[in-house]
Structures are given as structure tokens and as C-alpha cells.
Structure 1
């Protein structure tokens, strides 16, 4: 996820901390929806609305991780 986000934002993956607000890095709704769609196709259980409500990589990863264990 970090690498995908970094590519979409034209940033180095190490520049994205888990608690950074991704909107501050320029993440817009179109890119977010594109990424979420790609991740959902790979099996992640994410919804755009929940990601938009808290645009932080660490939060998104926790959602994916917790739902894989269920």
C-alpha cells in the first residue's frame, strides 16, 4: 500500500509516515478511488468513505489487516 500510494503521489515511500494525512501530500478522491479499487481487486476489504474519513496509511492498513483475520 505504501509503495502504491508513493507512486500515485510521486513521493518516496519513506516520505509517507503511517499517521500522515495523505491529503496534505496531494491525494485526491480520484486517485484514492483508483487505489482502493485496485486493492479491493487484490482482496482488501476497504470502502472509499471510510478511507476518506481518515486518510492515513496506518489507519487504512489496520482496516485491511483486521479484516483479513476475521
Structure 2
């Protein structure tokens, strides 16, 4: 099962108690309430969907757009 941008947006929104539409691709997710523990949970969720991810890739830039770029690269490589 591929991870999509919209799935990521929905998963993040659920994790922070927001509507998916409230999360822009360039929003700083830390400012929206996402912390490193929640990030770890999201990475585990996306790994269960078959994407091999590294925490460091996500901790560097806390935006949906940057995370999507990382996921897209991993999915196209596999």
C-alpha cells in the first residue's frame, strides 16, 4: 500500500487533532503541535505501510512538503 500526500496529511491531522485541510505543505508542523514522539508514531505507521524511513530525514525539516519528498523518493526507489 503506497503512502500518499493526502494520507500523510490525514495521519498528521489525526495525530494533532486538526482537520486535514488546516495543514499546508509548508506549515511548520511543530508550530501546529507535532512533537518528536508523535513523529516517531507517524514514521512507524508509514513504515507499516511499506515505506522504509529514517527519523533523521523527518527531524531535519518539519513540513509536510519536505516529508512527502522523502517518502516519495523512498517509494520510487523500492
- Quick check: 12-21 or 58-67, which moved more? 58-67
Moved over 6 A (4+): none
1:11-67 deviations in whole A, cap 9, x for unaligned?
010110001110000101111101101101111222111101101111111111122
Per the alignment, residue 22 of structure 2 pairs with: 15
- TM-score, normalised relative to structure 2: 0.83
Q: RMSD across aligned C-alpha pairs, in angstroms?
A: 0.9
Match of 1:44 among 48, 51, 61: 51
SS, match of residue 21 in structure 1: coil
- TM-score, normalised relative to structure 1: 0.92
**Aligned residue pair count:** 70
Structure number with higher helix proportion: 1
**Unmatched segments (≥5 aa) in structure 2:** 1-7
**Unmatched segments (≥5 aa) in structure 1:** none
